[in-house]
Structure 1
């Protein structure tokens, strides 16, 4: 399925896993970084890999040629972006549908390294000084920083941006800025960010990656979803030609001010990046077969297994390749919307989960690919297993009266079915759970004490989901749930998701290698449950969950972070707010054989559009020069 990401930062694919961070020496947060001294980078745990005089990241090809067009279907996105259409060019507000990769047009104070789990290095800022109380950060901005119209990018623009995003930005931006007290332009090249002390020590790692917007542009133009005037940016790309809802091109800026910075060398190699928008997956695949699309990740197992037999593939012009996925905490699951009264009892949510026959679905729809997901933080050390450790119990026991008993036993897992498509044992258990929750059978349906049915409607935006979820719906109907699927267009889907107007909805997300309280609040905290556009799709509002998120934020080393994350995972699974579905171990990539890419893929990100390059020799061999 398509993958969303929770991080709409400039390098929002720069994610990683704690499991890959064993080479780092645990210690206090920023312990290796002194206060009162200007430093070139920040890392939550351990020393920075790259020294102040580094010339480039190890995972790039500094000799990569520049030029050519990369026409691709982005596999992930954030904020208000959608892969199906766009009606605004403002990617930073709660409403509207914006095109993917608009973040490529904006620079930030710092950017992540893709071969470290939590390190950021200076981009617009050449360094940062931490105050003695660690609540203030003073950034020294590079005087050569420029917007695309040649005007200077100053601390005033940066201060304006942080205030604007806090007050009016999409929740992906506004929530992490909750505890920002002030953003001050001390002078043209000095910015101070002042926090209240209620932020976590790792909040800054997120905030420094937020886009710096032009104060002049957004003073003259509205900061809302009506904006179709290409915004003034400052990064390696700017908006070129576009057709609303159909396609957009990002053109490389030849005199980009930051071309030779260490954090940019060997990246942003394509002269033009073009993104097409398709309402129908089949149409997108046909465009790829013809060479109108040059790169795509394949999320449909049937297509990957049976339909790569077209002439361009059999002749060797198109390549299928599986790249290892990042060992990133990830979640692909179905949200059960507890804002609806019928889903507030966890026994109802469990009954719905028991109706999903993953084994049958894997065999009949997935051609044996995909593994069953059990965790909200799959593919990471944060995945709870077995019974709680003593360290986890120390966090859970004070919350005993606020937690389901299952949180104290074996980590809750979705049981394996018999693969028949209608496992009578599991459906019988589901029916019993509904009865215990007060839903009694009356004819074809279960009803409550007022005679009302139990409606459960999947909201989807693609025919593929209708096919995959139809057997699930049939099983729900078999136990008396008034289940259905509603297929809507992309604009309606985006609106209904952001306003929580659904019963059941599925999504896939990736988390940071070193999750912060800010990251998790967007998904699981009571505060985000009523904020339109947040990722808290089930409407979780639990003081116990809030307390565990606070424990994550308070973690002083990677061990305590892992303990807190496992405790959180354990509770989320016991509550059944999300029904885990499946995950894939690799990126199933297909592309026309006209590109070069680094031999070693970085562990914590896969931004193909940034790291790959156009290879004229390969292109000539397949007639694409």
Structure 2
């Protein structure tokens, strides 16, 4: 699962049947996970339903560019990040624990047992592991490590390092990494080149597809330097880059590892062309934009529609030295919206949450502030086959009926859509409905502010970390105040925002989430399962804790075909939308990218991920032509 904050803001892994009624009882029985994957034999790759594009011994992924030159510096502003990473500042170099603020792209310093193919929805191929053997009960996975695998200091990467890394993450890792390891019982080094991961049998059935992409650390390095966020000492890795120069909170550089052990392997060949990747940190997005205009930053994804429409009129643009391009977005479910924290008593009533959503006027905001750049979002799986539409289909209805009386009645009708306003910024019809819902929920005005029968004021503090929210969401909070809600926007610095979000210390925040193309149970649990609701650092920002949601996520994990998964997730989408826990905002069809014209890139962009720093390369002739050589 990846995180991105876009216009107002930025997980992770893999799952019913659309046949006749006679078969409809079958999907809800326990299924054997990974049923299409062979057991007892060494495999070079895995996928959720057994379909791999690349054969054993493949020399490169189709979207890789082995002919591209190496060299140059890529100074860019990341558009997404993971775990405890922060794009505004950093105070630790450990990206895999809950506390602290780490710089983005620390993951480039570490290799993993297996790595994803970005042109397949859920396939993974051996990296550190040459092969994986799945036990007959599919609860044990044995990995044969490549003998050439090395850490950056030249020491061999062994099964002991792998086993220690998994147990370390299970005990001390970031909650987003810990949760999928809840049912890992043992990580055993059977030999220097063989490691076995043993699960209880209660794990999500495709859990392994995410777990094998975890970073592997040097045990010796961890024992020497510790595994926490207290020091700015990088852990020893084995990936294509290592930490170079840095200044805490100001900049970090990652240097390409010249003798990287895996550079000629199929899963790594044709990537990571830049000699150095640099990220500068700006606490103000205007300062970051000015750095780009001057050429200090070379590549930028623009998340502010107003800036994209009006700000890119400076000399380098007019001279053709800087280009504005639209790059198609990935084919993966996405959600950007406002999240109401149900750990706060005032937001536990769905009527209150719906009323808050009615105060947001997308039509006015999109026209007046965003230059019509966006389309309204409605689904938790926007832009994917898992998005529910219209009335439940014949395939969805039997599963949905299982939860009659346990989920909102609205889930059984037309898929819940966000309200359409008259575009005035203060739609009287929507606000009247919001007032009715609040009154029905027991909130009545007293001295201009809504109170409940206990005399408690209805307050809503919208926590933000960028001044742009003060402009884009002012009308939203004004509508709330017009109804008698004591609403405010609270701007805090990056570290405080991170700390409060991790600790669920907020009324409302905005968040954009990109799920895996084949959403797995681990990612869904991070967002919506009761076991993550109390786990600080998880992405269950809304505090969702509902047995029906838990059961639907479990059913998704047991799906044995993509058709089963699609139907189950559509039902889950219907239920989540009816609960009104998020206020979906908007989406765009493209990445809005501006860059100095000094890079090359393949015309074949992968469908499911876009790590520009690994795919693009420095073009010396172009750089010379624009005076940047």
Question: Where on the TM-score scale, by shorter chain, does this alignment land: which range?
Answer: over 0.9
TM-score with structure 2 setting the length = 0.95
d(CA) in 2 for partners of 1:5, 1:278: 17
Q: Give the CA deviation at 1:364.
A: 1.0
Q: 1:377 aligns with which of 381, 386, 401?
A: 381
Indicate if the aligned counterparts of 2:14 and 2:520 stay in contact, CA closer than 8 A. no
Indicate if the aligned counterparts of 1:112 and 1:120 stay in contact, CA closer than 8 A. yes
Indicate if the aligned counterparts of 2:15 and 2:558 stay in contact, CA closer than 8 A. no
Indicate if the aligned counterparts of 1:359 and 1:418 stay in contact, CA closer than 8 A. yes
Q: Give the CA deviation at 1:6.
A: 2.2
Q: How does 1:418-433 map to 2 (within 5 A)?
A: 418-433=422-437
- 1:583 aligns to 2:567 (yes or no): no
Residue aligning to 1:412: 416
Task: Give secondary structure in 2 for the equivalent of 1:320.
Answer: strand
Task: Give secondary structure in 2 for the equivalent of 1:402.
Answer: coil
Q: 2:191 aligns with which of 187, 204, 227?
A: 187
Indicate if the aligned counterparts of 2:15 and 2:519 stay in contact, CA closer than 8 A. no
Q: How does 1:281-360 map to 2 (within 5 A)?
A: 281-360=285-364
- 1:610 aligns to 2:614 (yes or no): yes
d(CA) in 2 for partners of 1:5, 1:462: 13
- 1:73 aligns to 2:77 (yes or no): yes
Q: 1:552 aligns with which of 553, 556, 560?
A: 556
Indicate if the aligned counterparts of 1:28 and 1:557 stay in contact, CA closer than 8 A. no
Indicate if the aligned counterparts of 1:322 and 1:586 stay in contact, CA closer than 8 A. yes
d(CA) in 1 for partners of 2:245, 2:143: 35
Deviations for 1:404-438, whole angstroms, at most 9, x for unmatched residues? 11011111111110000000000000000000000
Q: Give the CA deviation at 1:222.
A: 1.9
TM-score with structure 1 setting the length = 0.96
Residue aligning to 2:111: 107
Q: 2:605 aligns with which of 587, 601, 607?
A: 601
Residue aligning to 2:281: 277
Q: How does 1:40-439 map to 2 (within 5 A)?
A: 40-439=44-443
Indicate if the aligned counterparts of 2:37 and 2:49 stay in contact, CA closer than 8 A. no
Q: 1:496 aligns with which of 480, 496, 500?
A: 500
d(CA) in 2 for partners of 1:188, 1:544: 45
Indicate if the aligned counterparts of 2:121 and 2:518 stay in contact, CA closer than 8 A. yes
- 1:2 aligns to 2:5 (yes or no): yes
Q: 2:509 aligns with which of 487, 494, 505?
A: 505
d(CA) in 1 for partners of 2:35, 2:489: 52
Q: Give the CA deviation at 1:398.
A: 2.2
Q: Give the CA deviation at 1:5.
A: 5.5
d(CA) in 2 for partners of 1:591, 1:289: 10
d(CA) in 2 for partners of 1:70, 1:164: 33
Task: Give secondary structure in 2 for the equivalent of 1:434.
Answer: helix
Task: Give secondary structure in 1 for the equivalent of 2:402.
Answer: helix
Indicate if the aligned counterparts of 2:184 and 2:200 stay in contact, CA closer than 8 A. yes
Residue aligning to 1:453: 457
Q: Give the CA deviation at 1:451.
A: 2.1
Residue aligning to 2:27: none
Task: Give secondary structure in 2 for the equivalent of 1:45.
Answer: coil
Q: Give the CA deviation at 1:16.
A: 10
d(CA) in 1 for partners of 2:84, 2:272: 23
Indicate if the aligned counterparts of 1:109 and 1:209 stay in contact, CA closer than 8 A. yes
d(CA) in 2 for partners of 1:312, 1:494: 35
Q: 2:575 aligns with which of 571, 575, 595?
A: 571
Q: Give the CA deviation at 1:184.
A: 0.4
Indicate if the aligned counterparts of 1:427 and 1:479 stay in contact, CA closer than 8 A. yes
Residue aligning to 1:11: none
Q: Give the CA deviation at 1:499.
A: 0.2
d(CA) in 1 for partners of 2:171, 2:395: 38
Task: Give secondary structure in 1 for the equivalent of 2:337.
Answer: strand
d(CA) in 1 for partners of 2:462, 2:311: 28
Q: Structure 1 unaligned runs (5+)?
A: 8-14, 19-26
Q: 2:623 aligns with which of 616, 619, 623?
A: 619
d(CA) in 2 for partners of 1:57, 1:214: 28
d(CA) in 2 for partners of 1:62, 1:174: 36
d(CA) in 1 for partners of 2:272, 2:195: 27
Q: Give the CA deviation at 1:445.
A: 1.3
- 1:472 aligns to 2:499 (yes or no): no
Task: Give secondary structure in 2 for the equivalent of 1:176.
Answer: helix
After the TM superposition, which of the residue ranges 392-401 and 417-426 deviates more from structure 2? 392-401
d(CA) in 1 for partners of 2:186, 2:140: 10
After the TM superposition, which of the residue ranges 454-463 and 217-226 deviates more from structure 2? 217-226
Quickly say closer, same or farther: Cα 1:77–1:17, change in 2 above 3 A.
Answer: farther
Deviations for 1:435-463, whole angstroms, at most 9, x for unmatched residues? 00000122311111122210001000000
Quickly say closer, same or farther: Cα 1:128–1:161, change in 2 above 3 A.
Answer: same
Q: Give the CA deviation at 1:162.
A: 0.6
Indicate if the aligned counterparts of 2:335 and 2:514 stay in contact, CA closer than 8 A. yes
Q: Structure 2 unaligned runs (5+)?
A: 17-30
Task: Give secondary structure in 2 for the equivalent of 1:561.
Answer: helix
- 1:517 aligns to 2:521 (yes or no): yes
Indicate if the aligned counterparts of 2:335 and 2:379 stay in contact, CA closer than 8 A. yes
Residue aligning to 1:21: none
Indicate if the aligned counterparts of 2:64 and 2:271 stay in contact, CA closer than 8 A. yes
Task: Give secondary structure in 2 for the equivalent of 1:400.
Answer: coil
Q: Give the CA deviation at 1:514.
A: 1.0
Residue aligning to 2:535: 531
After the TM superposition, which of the residue ranges 574-583 and 437-446 deviates more from structure 2? 437-446
